[in-house]
Amino acid sequence: MEATLKRTPLYARHVALGARMVPFAGWEMPVQYEGVIPEHKAVRAECGAFDVSHMGQLHVDGPTAQSFLQEMLSNDVDRVRDGEAQYTLLTNEQGGIVDDLIVYRFAHGQFLLVVNASNRSAVYEWLKEREPRGTEVRDASDEYALVAVQGPRSLERLGLPEAPAFTHAMGELDGVEVLICRTGYTGEKGVELCCGEDDGPALWDAVLARGAVPCGLGARDTLRLEVCYPLHGNDITPETDAISAGLRWACELEKDFTGVEVLREIAASGPRLRLVPFVMEEKAIPRQGMPVEGGGEVTSGTHSPMLDRGIGMAYVPAERAAPDTELVVDVRGKPRRARVVKKPIYRKES
Amino acid sequence: MPAQESYPDDLKYHPEHDWARLDGEEAVLGITWFAQDALGELVHFEAPDAGATVTKDEPYGEVESVKAVSDVVSPLSGEVLEVNQKAVDEPETVNEDPYGEGWLVRIRMSQPNEVDALMDAAAYRAHVAAEQ
């Protein structure tokens, strides 16, 4: 098994830093360096760096690329201008979610999709099979290193100017040519820096030298769950739809795209189940797969370092999805009380 | 701060990475440095109630880190006399001091001869080395 795991261009850096390496989506990735909790808190307070080079990058280019993406993706690609980015979903005929991704537009007919590592080939094959004349889909994932730098002081530490979220530009960081994207998966201000794979270690070194704390996938998961960003494979899957998942905002139901009829119906009649964030009212940590009393299931659960209590997301019957509704989670046979909350679970005091 | 790796000579060890400190008819139980290091920072100790019966080789509680849950296996049989409330309230104590302030429960042994089946520190160190 281990021999088949892929390694990012930063693998040797992680080992040298004493990271605990684990298998994730076919990759050997750092789950933590110093510890999940200090890394999580570093991102909330200051600035942390994550190797996310395992994520997939697909170029979609050509004169028909935009109309093709408009048919394939749930959000309105026509609203994305050069230098902008958009969160969107690749949907199937049943309205299920093949992947959630970010589409970047560089110029007319020139797009980049950044997709989940675990779905890289599924997304590539899905698009390649449907690729029309005048569009070329190309998997360039192995050509790039991707480093996320996240936290309230991230831009300041990197010496980057403020820029609106979901914009991107080419730039340079300490001699490394990078695509600077104002995106992330932590709920904090920050950037994702994309460079050629050979420049990855130099970029990583530069970011750490500027004071970013190296962070693993463990903190990435607790950070995203505190702000209720769904994780594909847990909270959203090819069997779950965007409306039930609370992602209607990422769907342009007025346009035609794969599965839109199903989504329109669910939106009109109201979903049977809804994905809700919750916090535990008793000492217990919810985990993926735990049943919720009265129907439903936990799709993500962890210990929140900021709230110091168990938190999670679960699909529950729609009539029990309102904030403040009490839930009972079956924690390995023990009923434990939880409460539905508004998104996000953690909000910074201003 | 996490503790440094150590396996004190005055303890008895169970292969599931639990220790026992014997005191007459009583024993104090906890998890070893190896166990807490494998789990990472502990955030929850699901403790048994005082008065509960524990059985050698059977789980009597759970410890959880951010990422994982693990049963705590009892190295000895007996009755729980006391639960370490500090380990419940501040589970990170188990990482910081696994053999001292991070003990888990105190029991009265029902089968004191079970001690003979446990490992001494040298045997446990060899067991840990074999798992790495």
Note the pLDDT tens digit of each residue in B17-74.
Answer: 999 999 999 999 999 999 999 999 999 999 999 999 999 999 999 999 999 999 999 9
pLDDT score for A294: 93
In chain A, residues with a C-beta closer than 8 Å to the C-beta of B43 are 37, 285, 303
Collect all residues of chain A within an 8 Å Cβ-Cβ radius of residue B49: none
Say what the pTM is.
0.95
| pLDDT at residue A3, as a whole number | 59
**How many residues does the structure list for chain A?**
350
Nearest to A107 by CA among A146, A66, A58, A74: A66
Q: How far is A144 from chain B (nearest CA, A)?
A: 29
Residue A134: both structure tokens together: 């005048």
User: Over its length of 350 residues, how does chain A's per-residue pLDDT go in tens digits?
Assistant: 455 899 999 999 999 999 999 999 999 999 999 999 999 999 999 999 999 999 999 999 999 999 999 999 999 999 999 999 999 999 999 999 999 999 999 999 999 999 999 999 999 999 999 999 999 999 999 999 999 999 999 999 999 999 999 999 999 999 999 999 999 999 999 999 999 999 999 999 999 999 999 999 999 999 999 999 999 999 999 999 999 999 999 999 999 999 999 999 999 999 999 999 999 999 999 999 999 999 999 999 999 999 999 999 999 999 999 999 999 999 999 999 999 999 999 998 75
For residue A66, give the 3-state DSSP assignment: helix
- Contact flag B44-A36 (C-beta cutoff 8 Å): no
> Chain B closest CA to A212's CA: distance in Å?
21
Q: Give the separation between CA B5 and CA B33, rounded to whole angstroms.
A: 6
CA distance B66 to chain A (A): 5
The token pair at A102 is: 């970010």
User: Of B43, B70, B83, which to mutate for an interface test with A (greatest number of A Cβ within 10 Å)?
Assistant: B43
pLDDT-based confidence at B131, cuts 50/70/90? confident
CA–CA gap between residue A100 and residue A115 (Å, rounded): 7
Angstrom distance (rounded) from CA A324 to CA A27: 39
Please enumerate residues of B whose Cβ is less than 8 A from a Cβ of A. 2, 40-41, 43-44, 46, 62, 64-67, 69, 88
Tell me what the mean pLDDT of segment B110-128 comes to: 97
Q: Which two tokens stand for residue A338?
A: 């939880």
Which of A28, A32, A36, A20 lies closest to A3, judged by CA?
A28
Do residues A78 and A66 lie in contact, with contact meaning Cβ atoms separated by under 8 Å? yes
Question: Chain A interface residues facing chain B, Cβ-Cβ under 8 Å?
Answer: 20, 31-32, 35-37, 218, 222, 283-285, 287, 302-303, 305, 310, 332
Confidence class for position B130, pLDDT limits 50, 70, 90: very high
C-alpha A125/C-alpha A139 separation (Å) is: 10
Domain spans in chain A, listed from the N-terminal domain onward: 2-52+143-226, 272-350
Order the strands of the A144-150 sheet from edge to edge. Answer: A168-173, A176-181, A190-196, A144-150, A48-51, A213-215
CATH topology of domain A2-52+143-226: Gyrase A; domain 2 (3.30.1360)
Looking at 3.40.50.2300, 3.30.70.1520, 2.40.30.110, 3.30.43.10, the CATH number of the domain A272-350 comes to: 2.40.30.110
CA distance B72 to chain A (A): 14
Among the partner residues B40, B46, B88, nearest to A32 by beta-carbon distance: B40
CB atoms B41 and A35 under 8 Å: yes
Inter-chain residue contact A218 with B67, CB threshold 8 Å: yes
Max alpha carbon distance in chain A (Å)?
Answer: 58
Interface A-B, measured as beta-carbon pairs within 8 A, has a size of 37
Residue pair A178/A168 in contact (Cβ under 8 Å)? The answer is: no
Q: Which domains does chain B have, with CATH numbers?
A: 17-131 (2.40.50.100)
Question: For position B20, what pLDDT does the model report?
Answer: 98
For A308, phi then psi, to 5°, come to 55, 45
DSSP A77: G
